[in-house]
Structure 1
Amino acid sequence: MSHATAPNAHAVLPLETRLARFPAQQVAVAQQHVVSYREAGDARGVALPLVLLHGIGSGAASWVQQFEALGTTRRVLAWDAPGYGESTPVAAGSPFASDYANVLKAWLDALGIARCVLVGHSLGAIVAGAFAAANPARVAGLLLVSPAGGYGTAAPEVRASKRDARLAMLADLGPAGLAETRSANMLSPHADETARDWVRWNMSRIVPHGYAQATHLLANADLAADLAAFTGRVAVVAGAQDSITLPTACARLARIARAPFQTVPRAGHAGYIEAPAAYNTILDTFCRASDASAGNRSF
C-alpha cells in the first residue's frame, strides 16, 4: 500500500495544528512582487515536484491533507494565487489566464522547478491549463480537479451577468459572509464537520481585491481552448456530487483534452478536502505515472 492510501496518523489533530507543519513562505518573483506558498517534502528527491493550484474561494492552506500524504515521496508545493494570502495581485484589473500563468512561471523559476506535475482545482485548473499550453515542456502531467471552464466564449451579457453577480455578493457579504453562506455548496451531503469547518476557514481568508480579480479571470477564461492546444498527459476528476462544476461539464473538458475522466463517489466540489484518501490515491497514481513517462523509473 502506498503512503497516500494509508490511514492518516494526523487526522485526530485540528487542521490548523497540522497546517503549522507547513508554514507560509514568500519568494520574490519580480521587483516588489512576491508569491506566498506552502510546501512539504524534500527538494533533493528524484520524483517530479507536485504543484497544486487552489480555486477561487480558497488558498494554499486547503491542501494540508495532500502535504501530509504525498510529501513523503516527493516535493509538494501549493501557492496562494496572485491576490491571495501574501501574494502580490496581478496588475490588470480584468485579468486573463495568461496573467496568472506568467506569475506561475516566474514562481517556478524562482524555486528552480524546471518540470512538474501540475494540479489545478476549479479556477486553478484555468491557470494550470494556460500554463501548460504556453509551457508544455515544463508539465509532465496535468491533472484537473473539478475544473472551471470559464465564460470566455459566452455571450457578452452572460459573461457580465456571471461576473457582476459574484462581485455583488462579495461587496454585500465580505469574506466572512461568503464563507458562511457559500462554503456548504463546496461539499457533498456526506462531508463531515471537520471538512465543512476547513472549507469555511479557508474561504473566510480570501482577500477581496484578489477575489474580485479572480472573478474577472473566470469571466474572461476559456480553458477548453488551452486544453485543445496542450498535447501532454492530462486527466480530469470530479466529485460525483459536485453541484458547482457539474460532472457532465468536467467530462466535456476531458473529451476536449483527449483525457481520461473519473468521478469520486460521495464527494462534492472540494472533494480533496472531504474525501482526502480517495483524492490522494488519484494524485499519487497520476504522479507516479508521470514520473515513469518522464524517465524517473524508480518511482
Structure 2
Amino acid sequence: MLHATDPSLAALQAQLPQRFPQRLVALADGPQAIREAGHGPAIVLLHGIGSGAASWLQVAVQLSQHARVIAWDAPGYGESTALDAPAPSAADYARRLLQLLDALQIDDCVLVGHSLGALSAAALACSQPQRLRRLVLISPARGYGDPARAEQAHQVRSQRLHNLEQLGISQMASQRSAHMLSPMASAEARAWVHWNMARLQPPGYRQAIELLCGDDLLRYAACTVPCEVHCGAADSITPPADCQALAAALGAPFQLIARAGHASPIEQPEAVARLLAAALDASLTGTAL
C-alpha cells in the first residue's frame, strides 16, 4: 500500500483540483457536491458504496476531451447533504439526482452507475426516461431487496453495520480496499481505492447500506432507455456471472472489462473511458453497440 506521501498517490491528489475540481450545487435539500470537467454532451457518473466522485478522476480526464463530465458525491458522501429518510430507496436517490440535473440545466445525459450507483441510475431511468440518452451499468449491485433474499439482506446489513461500528472507516478501508481490485492491480490503483474509501462519511454510508439491503435493481427493469452492462473480468464482488444475469434480465448487451476487478474505473481507466466514449457516441448517433 502506498502512503499519502508517495509520489504516485500525491500526483493523483494534485490532479483533482486542476483536472476534476469540486464545487457545491445549491439544491432545495441542501448542498450537493460534484466534480466536473469538460464541455459538450453531458455524461453523469455515479460511484459505488465504498467510493466517491474522485474515484472517476482518470476516466473523467479522458472523457472531458469530448463531453461535459459530472460525478457526484452521493447524498451523505463528502460534502453532500444526506437524504432525509434513514432507510432510503433508489427512488429517493434518483429524486436527488433529478434535482441536480435540473440545477445544472442538463436536459438529457448518458448516465453511468458503478456498483451501488447502478441502483440509483436504474431508478432514474425508470422514472424519467426522457432525461437519459443511454444507461451504462458497470459491475452493478443488484441489492438484496427481493423478499426471497431477506435472510441474506439481514446478514449483509448486520455485518456492514458491525464493521462500521467496530472498525471505523479507516480500518474498513485498510481491510476492504484490496478486495475491490484484481490480483494484477498496480500499487497506485490499490492506494487510490484505499484513499477514496477512507474518505467515507458514516451517515451517508449507513444510508447506502440500507439502500443495498432494502432495494432491488430488478424493480427498475422495465426501463425503456437503451442500456448496456459491463463488468470486470476478475470482479469478485459482483461476479461476471451475476452481472451477465442482470444484463439478460434488463435485455441489455454485456461485456467484460479485461484485467479488472470491481473498481474497474480505477484499475482500467483507459478501457472504461473508451467504452463510455463509445456509449456517448451511440447515444448521439442512435446506433447500437
TM-score w.r.t. length of structure 2: 0.93
- Cα deviation, 1:88-132, whole Å, max 9, x if unaligned, reads 000011111111010000011000011000000000001000010
Aligned to 1:218: 212
Distance in 1 (CA, whole Å) between partners of 2:169 and 2:14 is 22
Aligned residue for 1:152, secondary structure, equals coil
Aligned residue identity for 2:267 = E
- Cα deviation, 1:157-192, whole Å, max 9, x if unaligned, reads 322211111111111111111110000000001110
Distance in 2 (CA, whole Å) between partners of 1:70 and 1:23 is 15
1:186 equivalent to 2:176? Answer: no
- Any stretches of 5+ residues in structure 2 without a counterpart? 1-7
- Which residue of 23, 26, 50 corresponds with 2:24? 26
Aligned residue for 2:237, secondary structure, equals coil
Where does 1:100-249 land on structure 2 (aligned, <5 Å)?
100-153=93-146, 154-226=148-220, 228-249=221-242
Distance in 2 (CA, whole Å) between partners of 1:162 and 1:72 is 40
> Runs in 1 of length 4+ with deviation above 4 angstroms?
none
1:291 equivalent to 2:284? Answer: yes
* Contact 2:9–2:192 (8 Å) recurs in 1: no
What is the deviation of 1:136? 0.5
Name the CA shift for 1:67/1:155 in 2 (closer, same or farther; >3 Å): closer
Aligned residue identity for 2:268 = A
1:17 equivalent to 2:14? Answer: yes
Distance in 1 (CA, whole Å) between partners of 2:133 and 2:32 is 23
Distance in 1 (CA, whole Å) between partners of 2:149 and 2:266 is 34
What is the deviation of 1:272? 1.2
Distance in 1 (CA, whole Å) between partners of 2:274 and 2:190 is 21
Aligned to 1:259: 252
Aligned to 1:5: none
Distance in 1 (CA, whole Å) between partners of 2:149 and 2:250 is 23
Distance in 1 (CA, whole Å) between partners of 2:110 and 2:207 is 26
Aligned residue identity for 2:135 = L
What is the deviation of 1:40? 0.4
Where does 1:5-84 land on structure 2 (aligned, <5 Å)?
14-21=11-18, 22-30=20-28, 33-42=30-39, 45=40, 48-84=41-77
Aligned residue identity for 1:16 = Q
* Contact 2:144–2:150 (8 Å) recurs in 1: no
- Cα deviation, 1:243-296, whole Å, max 9, x if unaligned, reads 0001111001100111110111211000110111111111111111111129xx
Q: How many pairs align?
A: 278
- Which residue of 64, 69, 83 corresponds with 1:90? 83
Aligned residue for 2:259, secondary structure, equals coil
Greater shift in the superposed pair: 185-194 or 151-160: 151-160
Aligned residue for 1:143, secondary structure, equals strand
| Aligned sequence identity (%) | 50
Name the CA shift for 1:163/1:12 in 2 (closer, same or farther; >3 Å): closer
- Cα deviation, 1:188-247, whole Å, max 9, x if unaligned, reads 011101100000000000001100110000011110120x21022100000010000011
TM-score w.r.t. length of structure 1: 0.90
Q: What is the Cα-based RMSD across aligned positions, in Å?
A: 1.4
